[in-house]
A and B are shown apart, each in its own frame.
Chain A
């Protein structure tokens, strides 16, 4: 009995193994496969714009980039795009780039929706949801804030007035870096 007890104690502890595996699973190399989380490098992409030239994210290293995922059927998206338009007008000269990524709607519908919002920043089309999958978009609107080094700094899934204040503070901090 006692020797068995000793053997159990001297072997690898299952809890420690599970904890170690869980820790390994959270390493960026594993996490990056599933999530675009703060601290990780923003996945690169190239998309066609609703109007204007194609856009590749990696060409904007050195600038603060905001990516807002939106859709035609999303009521809150209109308010968010208009809010981002204010940020773009205010901070565009300081190196802020804003891109709205339209997820999986017809181009004509997206164009009609975009005209109603009066945004001046580029609106990109993601008809195959490739970029939405890369960024783990599970709800619309969803906004990603990327710093000058190309790393994700913040992901906002609920766009409310209170979250907007936190968001603007973070944006100002990034622009000042």
Chain B
């Protein structure tokens, strides 16, 4: 992730780029200015029943939210282009034998994520939630992903396990999924990393 000032500059630049399209959706500013002034002036006359200023404010808020969403999408596309993007997701099925505490991710020996879970987050995962733990860029070629998981295992004992995946990054986004499941036969948790289709 870029540092805050660079991020700010990036967003400002994107805002400047997006500005013409935003204006294109609405009438020209010079054309709307007198109308807006007129509606503001008439708003007080209309009283509570009019609501035209409120509608305009709501419309403006909606436009700002749309613009913000577009900027976020543009930012994500610029920071993580589809050709180099790698994302790792975490999901949990059951989790009876394992109370998740933290996950540490290493790609090619370099730590890229270290996440500490609260009970609320673990509950969300247990309810079927999927967390995007990491998103980054990788070159085309072979890579190794290692995940270290810590938590409480069976009988509430401290439990640390690892899972490894050697994967091939080709052109296009790569999505990997780290799943935590229960092995009912062994009465142990099971950790697996796989391609997310």
Task: Pick the residue among B4, B8, B101, B121 that contacts A56 (CB under 8 A).
Answer: B121
Contact indicator A54/B118 (Cβ below 8 Å): yes
B27 proximity list for chain A (CB < 8 A): none
Contact indicator B4/A46 (Cβ below 8 Å): no
Contact indicator B118/A46 (Cβ below 8 Å): yes
Which residues of chain B from 70 to 94 have any CB-CB distance to chain A below 8 Å in the complex?
Answer: none
Which residues of chain A from 1 to 54 have any CB-CB distance to chain B below 8 Å in the complex?
Answer: 29-30, 32-33, 46-48, 53-54
Q: Can you name the residue of chain B whose Cβ is closest to the Cβ of A33?
A: B4
Interface residues contributed by chain B, number (CB under 8 Å): 12
Bound-complex Cα distance A123 to B121 (A): 20
Contact indicator A54/B4 (Cβ below 8 Å): no
Query: Would you call B117 an interface residue if the criterion is a C-beta within 8 Å of the partner chain's C-beta atoms?
Result: yes
Contact indicator A46/B116 (Cβ below 8 Å): yes
B116 proximity list for chain A (CB < 8 A): 46-48, 54, 56
Query: Would you call B25 an interface residue if the criterion is a C-beta within 8 Å of the partner chain's C-beta atoms?
Result: no
**Residue-wise interface mask of B (31-75) relative to A, using a CB-CB cutoff of 8 A (1 in contact, 0 not):** 000000000000000000000000000000000000000000000
Task: Pick the residue among A29, A47, A48, A53 that contacts B119 (CB under 8 A).
Answer: A53
Q: Can you name the residue of chain B whose Cβ is closest to the Cβ of A53?
A: B119
- Are A29 and B8 CB-contacts (below 8 A) given A46-B116, A54-B101, A54-B116? yes
Bound-complex Cα distance A46 to B103 (A): 13
Bound-complex Cα distance A158 to B119 (A): 34
Contact indicator A53/B5 (Cβ below 8 Å): no
Q: Can you name the residue of chain B whose Cβ is closest to the Cβ of A58?
A: B118
**Residue-wise interface mask of B (89-123) relative to A, using a CB-CB cutoff of 8 A (1 in contact, 0 not):** 00000000000010000000000000111111100
Given contacts A47-B116, A48-B116, 12 further A-B contacts (CB under 8 A): A29-B8, A30-B4, A33-B4, A33-B5, A54-B101, A54-B117, A54-B118, A54-B119, A55-B118, A56-B120, A56-B121, A59-B118
Query: Would you call B197 an interface residue if the criterion is a C-beta within 8 Å of the partner chain's C-beta atoms?
Result: no
Task: Pick the residue among B5, B117, B119, B120 that contacts A30 (CB under 8 A).
Answer: B5
Bound-complex Cα distance A29 to B4 (A): 7
Bound-complex Cα distance A174 to B3 (A): 32
B119 proximity list for chain A (CB < 8 A): 53-54
B115 proximity list for chain A (CB < 8 A): 46
A33 proximity list for chain B (CB < 8 A): 3-5
Contact indicator A59/B120 (Cβ below 8 Å): yes
Closest-CB distance, A70 to chain B (whole angstroms): 20
B121 proximity list for chain A (CB < 8 A): 56
B120 proximity list for chain A (CB < 8 A): 56, 59
